[in-house]
Structure 1
Amino acid sequence: MENVSFALSSELTLDRFVIPAGGKYLLFALGVVVYFFTALCNTTLLTLIVVEKNLHRPMYFILLSLPLNDLIGITAMLPKVLSDIVTETHKIQYPLCVLQGFLLHMYGGGILLILAAMSFDRYAAICMPLRYNSIMTPRAVVCIVSLVWGLDFVLILLVFSLHTRLPRCKSFILNVFCDSPSLLKIKCGNTTVNNVTGLLVTAFLQLLSVSVQTFSYVKILITCVVSQRSDTKMKAVNTCVAQLVILVIFEIVGTFTILSHRFTNVSADLQKIMGMLIFLVPPLLNPLVYGLYTREIRQTLQRFLTRNRVSF
């Protein structure tokens, strides 16, 4: 079996969409617009947080990870898919396929951990306002951000490192992009350990994120009910709604993606599209949601645009 693995070419063939004649260029143009608009929105949010001093606070330093993670997710997936649609090549080298899958799984785990970190920051700010500065020190913020990215990296690395224990005996990826389940399907041997590990990692990330966020928002809700200060309630609404909306969007899209693969009457192309949505919808909507629900970001963006227009 190992000899078969070594005899295989490192070039893999990806599955493809069934696109009507002439439709590929329209689909390519739409995808390019979506990608550049998403990149523009997330890059703008990143730039604001880095450049504007009024956003140099723990909340926004943690938020900085969200658009960065979104850019990783959509960049790892969409350009390759669009290139395959217009060129009709649908080929990828095995190491690049593994790298793409690794980055996409990093993106998925990153969203959950980043939202958990952001909810804890809001819990500290709203429920313990007098102690907030002593809790969310620069060192604490660096530790939180490092823990988010470090834990995400280690867990996804664990999942993909287990792929090396199995020989590869196929070269056709049953998806339009690479991910861990698709890579496992081209392996020979018993994949039980890989499947169980992947399931446990996914469950752990979900449980950790949802537990931290549930604890934080329940405490925030109690504080809002008990507090007589209207400004405390408004602060909670303005800073927490955006995070909750982002979580709901991610979970809904993820649920639809999972369900689409559980029903046999769902077309293959629809399953592929649903699989792509989790890497398209959150990166597209996250910066818009924050701009819509966070007044400080809106005002900072207006000042930034006005100042640069005047300077120009």
Structure 2
Amino acid sequence: MMENFTTNSFMLQLEGLKVTKVSMYPVFFFFLLSYLFIMVANAGIAVLVLVDKNLHQPMYLLFCNLPVNDILGNSIMLPRLLVDILQPPSERLISYYECVVQAFTTHMFGTTSHTVLMIMAFDRYVAICNPLRYAAIMTNRMVLKLTVSAWGVALVLVGVLLGLTVRLNRCRTLIMNPYCDNASMFKLSCESVLINNIYGLSFTVVLLTASIGSIVLTYTKITVVCLTSKNKSLNSKALTTCSTHLFMYLIMLFSGFIVIFLHRFPQYSDHRKMCAILFHIIPGSLNPIIYGVQSKEICRSLAKLFRSKSVVSQF
């Protein structure tokens, strides 16, 4: 594929996914069904938590950030991807402004996934290691502060990341990815991208160190409390809620590491592109299922909702 060398072109070309005519429609319908499920399941869980007063607890209010993040992260990227799958490669065009928005939401999704799971880990730590002071610590004000911090930190980190890329002049027009992200955008420039690489690496190291460090520290302390405590109900509750949270974290971390790992092997670029898309789809699909099934309160709330609907339908 030939690249056009033009200065600061406002129309860019997406490389997209390489799909054959045979696999085009199966891939399209897989992504379409995944997108619809992510939207319905996450919106349903978020609305359920907001509507049911029994779920107005810090644990569920903090969890609400994940469905919101999954909806925002997938609503910009997946619809555009669905359109591009049905287009020939030469017609996969995107405006520069749309590309910036897509890159911003993509990186916000990845960063906020970490920061939200970090504040959820703090909530579990207080609930299990300091249960008598839980209500005093995890007030509505604290929940709001943690939520604003999770989104605010992500906004600043990603804002600087994209700001450093937007300042660059562009001499290429081909985005070597199925969707726009920071790396594929600064590769359009013929200027030095040393600062972008340094900040991008620092950004990743700081985020992963803080994320993994806080999870390891939190769960080490929770494990010590559970091992030294003879309270069986506390240990059972801790095991249920913490295993759910930890499982969601490991899915998100594993999905992200596969993409980073495959970046080192250009011969697997097609696999990397598919994994980058699945990084959005898999956590977004599994989060509402895992949390919904594991949480007795959410299951009870859903059962109550369906019972009330069946009663109404009988009349």
TM-score over 0.5 for the pair? yes
Is the Cα contact below 8 Å between 2:119 and 2:146 reproduced in 1?
yes
Please give the secondary structure, in 2, of the residue aligned with 1:175.
coil
Give me the whole-angstrom Cα distance separating, in 2, the residues matched to 1:131 and 1:8.
Answer: 57
Of residues 135, 146, 150, the one that matches 1:133 is 135
Unaligned regions of 5+ residues in structure 1, if any? none
Aligned to 2:254: 252
Is the Cα contact below 8 Å between 2:119 and 2:150 reproduced in 1?
yes
Please give the secondary structure, in 2, of the residue aligned with 1:280.
helix
Aligned to 1:231: 233
Of residues 159, 162, 180, the one that matches 1:160 is 162
Please give the secondary structure, in 1, of the residue aligned with 2:13.
strand
Q: Does 1:308 align with 2:309?
A: yes
Please give the secondary structure, in 2, of the residue aligned with 1:12.
strand
Q: CA deviation at 1:23?
A: 3.0
Q: CA deviation at 1:5?
A: 9.6
Q: CA deviation at 1:244?
A: 0.4
| 2:168 partner amino acid | L
Is the Cα contact below 8 Å between 1:14 and 1:92 reproduced in 2?
yes
Give me the whole-angstrom Cα distance separating, in 2, the residues matched to 1:169 and 1:282.
Answer: 36
Please tell me the root mean square deviation across aligned C-alpha atoms, in Å: 1.6
Q: Note the 1:184-223 alignment, pairs <5 A.
A: 184-223=186-225
Aligned to 1:34: 34
Q: CA deviation at 1:14?
A: 0.3
Q: Does 1:272 align with 2:269?
A: no
- Comparing 299-308 with 189-198, greater Cα deviation is found at 299-308
Give me the whole-angstrom Cα distance separating, in 2, the residues matched to 1:201 and 1:274.
Answer: 21
Is the Cα contact below 8 Å between 1:5 and 1:167 reproduced in 2?
no
Aligned to 1:243: 245
What is the TM-score of this pair, normalised by structure 1?
A: 0.94
Is the Cα contact below 8 Å between 2:10 and 2:95 reproduced in 1?
yes
Aligned to 1:288: 289
Is the Cα contact below 8 Å between 2:58 and 2:123 reproduced in 1?
yes
Q: Does 1:116 align with 2:118?
A: yes
| 2:67 partner amino acid | P
Q: CA deviation at 1:7?
A: 4.6
Q: Does 1:100 align with 2:118?
A: no
Is the Cα contact below 8 Å between 2:15 and 2:174 reproduced in 1?
yes
Q: Deviations over 1:65-101 (max 9, x none)?
A: 0010011112121111111111333110001101100
Give me the whole-angstrom Cα distance separating, in 1, the residues matched to 2:282 and 2:211.
Answer: 20
What is the aligned length?
A: 308
Is the Cα contact below 8 Å between 1:238 and 1:295 reproduced in 2?
no
Please give the secondary structure, in 2, of the residue aligned with 1:213.
helix
- Comparing 201-210 with 15-24, greater Cα deviation is found at 15-24
Is the Cα contact below 8 Å between 2:127 and 2:134 reproduced in 1?
yes
Is the Cα contact below 8 Å between 1:257 and 1:275 reproduced in 2?
yes
Q: Deviations over 1:15-45 (max 9, x none)?
A: 0333222432222122111110111111111
Q: Note the 1:44-83 alignment, pairs <5 A.
A: 44-83=44-83
Q: Deviations over 1:92-134 (max 9, x none)?
A: 0001101100000000000100010001001101111110111
